[in-house]
Amino acid sequence: MSKHKVLVAPSILSADPLRYGEETKSVEIAGADWHHIDVMDGHFVPNLTFGLPLIKALKKTAKLPLDVHIMVSNPDDVALSYVEAGADILVFHAEAAKHGHRLAQAIREKGARPGVALNPATPLEFAFSMAPHVDVIMLMSVNPGFGGQSFIEDTVDRVAALSKWLAANKLQDKVLIEVDGGINEQTGTKIVKAGATVLVAGTYVYGSKDRAQPISALKSLK
């Protein structure tokens, strides 16, 4: 059982792209904790989404932290521009970063909280040497690129193993475990029990007309 309060980060990838302003407001009213923003470059992942202009625009209206997840091949080159644009949490992929520690430190110096993401097939060890330098370790529970995919079940064991490792290294109160992909009440229950602290949910929240119900269902998991 997680002793941390669960945070919910709805992913705007599943919001109506013609109404991002109203959509993000609706999840704020419904009790969301962070806005999750999926930046895709059409290269690291086979899909292209949005970039700096949308983040700058959201920063002007959003009342919640912007959790920017950059699925790009060159995070060392572009991450700081996303911090300047308004990212409060900047999560880059361990598979793509050339100099992960340097990048995490630069993100922090620019004023954002650094996070590192691992694809489902990437060994957890990729995150271990980064753990003392980041505020968030994000485990992907789908292969990134699209919303609406099915949750990969072995993520539950990966979350449990990461949670145990963080506790053994006295980092459990410093590093949040964020999980991204295929999260709903059923899959959320399992990963929160395994130690997840931040749940990203696209389809489950924005695919529902009533945003309060899915958000409160996830927030009440323990």
Q: Which of 33, 41, 67, 180 is catalytic?
A: 180
Which residue of 7, 8, 20, 36 would you call a contact of ligand DX5, by CB under 6 A? 36
Residue nearest Zn ion by beta-carbon distance = 69
Conformational region of residue 182, where left means phi above 0, alpha means psi within -120 to 50, and beta covers everything else:
left
Task: Please tell me whether residue 41 binds Zn ion under the rule CB under 5 A.
Answer: no
Task: Please tell me whether residue 46 binds ligand DX5 under the rule CB under 6 A.
Answer: no
Both tokens of 109, joined, read 């110096």
Cα separation of 71 and 73, whole Å?
7
Class of residue 22 by CB neighbours under 10 A (exposed 0-12, middle 13-18, buried 19+): exposed
Helix axes 212-219, 185-194, angle to 10 degrees: 20
Task: Please tell me whether residue 35 binds Zn ion under the rule CB under 5 A.
Answer: no
Query: Which residue, among 195, 212, 192, 196, has the nearest Cα to 204 in the 3D structure?
Result: 212
Interface residues for Zn ion in 57-76 (CB under 5 A)? 69
Mask of contacts with ligand DX5, 59-98, x by CB under 6 A? Answer: ----------x-----------------------------
| Residue corresponding to tokens 């923003």 | 37
Cα separation of 81 and 76, whole Å?
10
CB-CB contact of 157 with 151 (8 Å):
no
Interface residues for ligand DX5 in 155-184 (CB under 6 A)? 180-183
Q: Identify what 149 binds: ligand DX5, Zn ion, none; CB under 5 to 8 Å per kind.
A: ligand DX5
Closer residue to ligand DX5 in complex, CB, 105/189: 189
Q: Which of 33, 38, 41, 135 is catalytic?
A: 38
Which residue of 31, 111, 132, 148 would you call a contact of ligand DX5, by CB under 6 A? 148
Q: Identify what 92 binds: Zn ion, ligand DX5, none; CB under 5 to 8 Å per kind.
A: none
Catalytic residues: 38, 180
